[in-house]
Amino acid sequence: MQTASSGSAVKDPQENEMQIWFNGEFVTRENAKVSVFDHGLLYGDGCFEGIRIYNRNIFRLKEHIERLYDSMKYLMLTVKLSQQEMVDATIEACAKNNLDNGYIRLLVTRGEGTLGISPFTCNDPNVIIIVSDISLYPKEYYTKGLDIITAATRRNSPAAVSPRVKSLNYLNNILAKIEAKNANVLEALMLDNNGYIVECTADNFFLLKNGVLYTPPTYQGALRGVTRDAVIELAKESGIEVREERLTLYEAYTADESFLTGTAAEVMPLISIDARPIGNGKPGEITMELNRKFRELTVKDGEKF
């Protein structure tokens, strides 16, 4: 059984030199500060994107920015930057920090307001672009696979807040992540209130059965991940049938192969769920082939700097 870490940790190899894009200016980490009255801090009011850099290529940056603006529209959160200006600012931040490979955290907070919950007291959203490094899973798990559990914490209903919004409030996912750590694994499946699989705490979920690739539909409560979409495209290009269907734990337990996808996780093979081996208990051949094709895609699909 794998031992859980304390969670994903951002590493700062150039901590003293890090330049954070903060409302149009570059500031050091020590000077990148928001007000304690920012509703992003007080209420989790805002949204974000996590984006990867591969060999000075920002993977599918425009797709991430489009999703960010869709999230902001849903939240009635408006910034002065156009989508192209946000793309340009992100590229500028990457060039400024000069990382060949890394991770971008782009945040938009509601901004400073009163202690009341109303967002209409906030006039100036904060836009923050952090370029650093990230370590989510140890490298060896990409070849030997992960054991995971099913969390008792159920995924928030899409009737409450749309799962398509990457909001700053991740408490639902965090509670499930705590369950994973308490079970000495690194990740946990989350179900909806009807017992169908939705996603993991920070990743989309896939399984393969009889040559068909299955993943939960986004309307059920799963985030439409950028990596998820890329893997679906790669599978179809390889002649693999892909179905977005509701899945139960029975389908997960009896799958031939299974894996997770996410910006930070990439394509992560699963080898057991709730102590039940997936297939032969080793990463599947199709999983590893999709992993290989995804890695090839990451260095050529996006915006170079």
For 87-105, give one letter per residue: b (16+ CB within 10 A) or e: bebbbbbbebbebeebbbb
Residue 289 near residue 257, CB atoms below 8 Å: no
User: Is residue 62 annotated as part of the catalytic site, yes or no?
Assistant: no
Give 154's DSSP letter.
P
Coil, strand or helix: which one is 204? strand
The bridge status of strand 126-135 relative to strand 19-22 is antiparallel
User: DSSP for 10-31?
Assistant: EE-TTTTT-EEEETTEEEEGGG
The backbone region for 134, taken as left when phi is positive above 0, alpha when psi lies in -120 to 50, beta otherwise, is beta
Catalytic residue of the set 166, 177, 181, 209: 166
Coil, strand or helix: which one is 230? helix
| Residues noted as catalytic | 166
